[in-house]
Amino acid sequence: MNQKMWTVDISLTEEGDVTRAVAILRTDDGREFLGEGVARRNPADIPSPQIGDELATARAMSELTHKLLETVARDIEETQGARPEHLVG
């Protein structure tokens, strides 16, 4: 069995009603993928920092996922000669 370890670090910053998240995926071969997300609280909503953290993180992870899928599609295209359109969408 071959086990690999990839890590994701997420940092959160809050400024007023805006929460920003940065998610960085680090692979065991030294590559990094970065995703960013922002959450803005509606002034009419009750303040809930946890919700802002969760939403900003979800958006950062979503961007990270899209970037990783684009990389996979490029890698497949380079090695197989065809772009797998079903991976990117």
Q: CA dist 13 to 66, 69, 80, 87, Å?
A: 22, 26, 41, 32
pLDDT, one tens digit per residue, over 28-75 is: 999 999 999 999 998 888 888 899 999 999 999 999 999 999 998 888
DSSP structural state of residue 5? -
| pLDDT recorded at residue 83 | 63
Domains of the chain, start order: 7-81 (3.30.160.240)
CB 35 within 8 A of CB 49: no
How far apart CA 61 and CA 81 sit, in angstroms, is 29
- Burial group, residue 19, by CB count within 10 angstroms (0-12, 13-18, 19+): buried
pTM of the predicted protein model:
0.84
Average pLDDT of span 16-21: 96
